[in-house]
Structure 1
Amino acid sequence: MIRGSIEHVTNDVIQGWIYSEDGNIRERTLLAFRGDSCVGAGRVNMFRADLADAGMGDGHLGFTFAISVPPQDLGSVVVKLEGSDAVLLQRSAVVTGTGSASRDLGRTEVRERLASLKWALKHGRISQGDFDFLRILWSTGVYERGLVRRNSADDGAVMEKPLGVATQLL
């Protein structure tokens, strides 16, 4: 697992720390992004006594490097460890999509989508699990996947393993 923090951002510098439980983080390259644009790069190489005292590796987890960002875009800067999908967000960051704000599905659109789903289920194009997931997601906007399911053979309950359920969903 990767943890860290972006502690200071200006239009020309970014500072913070990053930690990996495998301990293989020192001298790794970090990339700063604003949207899809890379706005700077640097290395994890600064000693941080506070992190060493907290038992986080040898304490060489800090970073400071130059970036180039207009002042109005400072809040959208994130840091990624090169070769990783992990992202460090700023403390006050709010995750949103690009472009216009999302819209709610209208009643008619939900009905049309559900009719398409029923057809796909009936004709074997999707599984019952996928049908349930999409039906609930489109109807309410959220989906809760429990770990207990009924066993049709004996009407008992079966507790599924969380890792297996997560793997199926992803």
Structure 2
Amino acid sequence: MLKGFIEQISETAISGWVYCANFDVAGHRLLAFERDQCIGAGHIDIHRPDLEAAGMGKGLLGFSISCDPAVLKRHANISVRLDNSDFALLPRSTSQRPARREVAAGLFSSTEARRVEWMARQGWLSQEQFLALRSLNQLGVYQRTFSRSELGDFSLERKAADLYLEIMCLLFRSEFNLAQLQEHSLMPRDLAQLDFNLAGGEHGVIGLYGGELSAEVSEGAHALGIDGAEPPVVAPVSYRCAPHQLLLVHTGCLRSLALGKGSGVQLLALAAPAAA
């Protein structure tokens, strides 16, 4: 299964990474598109020590594709596709800033964070589980793309719900099930009345999928109170999602949400415990 991110769109290039546990992606050709027009090409040929340290092979997973600055300035419908496949990446962020940033604290205490890293080293967590937990812990957000081949006979609704519950169980060390899962259909008209904190419930993390959306996220803003840390002051980052992508985000980081014209999305959350 292929996975990855477009981490940065600078003035001259699109950069990020691609990984697959089943085969070596190093050297494979990538094509950059604006809508359906090819705007550049490159290869997976940049060593990423951070990904190697996370157990993702030898870390030769990064890419940087040079493109026309006039096209990149528009930030409109940019995608990166693996040549001769249906795998595609959409931007993780549209901000022009260094993509990798360390955050001191998050949902976990430092002790709990070390426990998760130890579990990953023992092989008790899949690479996807580890990346999701680390991203939600440090940044308060995780984005996941479902390919057509991955979905197979399963519906997008089933895959999104299963992944959301799986990550929530690992994140909060509790057993959650479908009976506790709340699903809501949101349309643009619903956003003005939506209270993100209430929608996130006690655990704070919601899932969004099934439509075009743009979310403004202050990465790491959920860190208040963990190990005595203050939340970092950071400018919101824009996350864009297509219907086949799932965005997991802590509501303490979510600053705004906009849906595509005429588009609705599905919201996943855990039901609050029943009052005694």
Which interval holds the TM-score relative to the shorter structure?
Answer: 0.5 to 0.7
Secondary structure of residue in 2 paired with 1:93: strand
Residue 14 of structure 1: how far off its partner (Å):
0.8
Instruction: Select 1:93's aligned residue among 229, 240, 248.
Output: 240
Letter paired with 2:30: L
What is the TM-score when the length of structure 1 is the normalising length? 0.54
Amino acid of the residue matched to residue 81 of structure 1? L
* Separation in structure 1 between the aligned mates of residue 81 and residue 37 of structure 2, nearest angstrom: 12
**1:63 matched residue in structure 2:** 63
**The structure with more radius of gyration:** 1
Q: Which amino acid aligns with 2:53?
A: D
Residue 12 of structure 1 aligns with which residue?
A: 12
What is aligned with 2:3? Answer: 3
Distance (Å, rounded) in 1 between the aligned partners of 2:74 and 2:51:
29
SS of 2:63 mapped into structure 1: strand
Of stretches 32-41 and 3-12 in structure 1, the one that deviates more from structure 2 is: 3-12
Q: Using the alignment, how far apart are the partners of 2:76 and 2:35 within structure 1?
A: 11
Residue of structure 2 in register with 1:48 after alignment: 48
List structure 1 segments (4+ residues) > 6 angstroms apart after TM superposition.
none
CA distance in 2 between counterparts of 1:33 and 1:11 reads 16
**Matching of residue 26 in structure 1 with residue 26 in structure 2:** yes
Q: Which amino acid aligns with 1:59?
A: G
CA contact under 8 A between 2:12 and 2:72: conserved in structure 1?
A: no
List gaps (5 residues or longer) in structure 2: 93-238, 244-259, 267-276
- Where structure 1 has 5 or more consecutive residues not aligned to the other structure, the ranges are 104-141, 143-170
Q: Does the 8 Å contact 1:11/1:70 carry over to 2?
A: no
* Identity within the alignment, %: 35
Q: Secondary structure at the match of 1:14?
A: strand
What letter corresponds to residue 80 of structure 2 in structure 1?
V
Offset at residue 42 of structure 1 (A) = 0.2
Cα deviation, 1:117-163, whole Å, max 9, x if unaligned, reads xxxxxxxxxxxxxxxxxxxxxxxxx9xxxxxxxxxxxxxxxxxxxxx
Matched, 1:76 2:74: no
Question: Secondary structure of 1:31's partner?
Answer: strand
RMSD of equivalent CA atoms: 2.6
CA–CA distance in structure 1, aligned partners of residues 35 and 240 of structure 2: 13
Q: Distance in 2 between matches of 1:71 and 1:15?
A: 12
Q: Write out aligned runs for 1:105-120 (5 A).
A: none
Match of 2:79, SS? strand
**Which structure has the higher relative contact order (CA within 8 Å, separation 6+)?**
2
Matched, 1:38 2:38: yes
Whether the 8 Å contact between 1:31 and 1:82 is mirrored in structure 2 is yes
Q: Deviations over 1:6-63 (max 9, x none)?
A: 1111342111100012232000000111100011100001000001011111100000
Shift of 1:101: 4.6
Change (3 A) 1:7 1:30: same
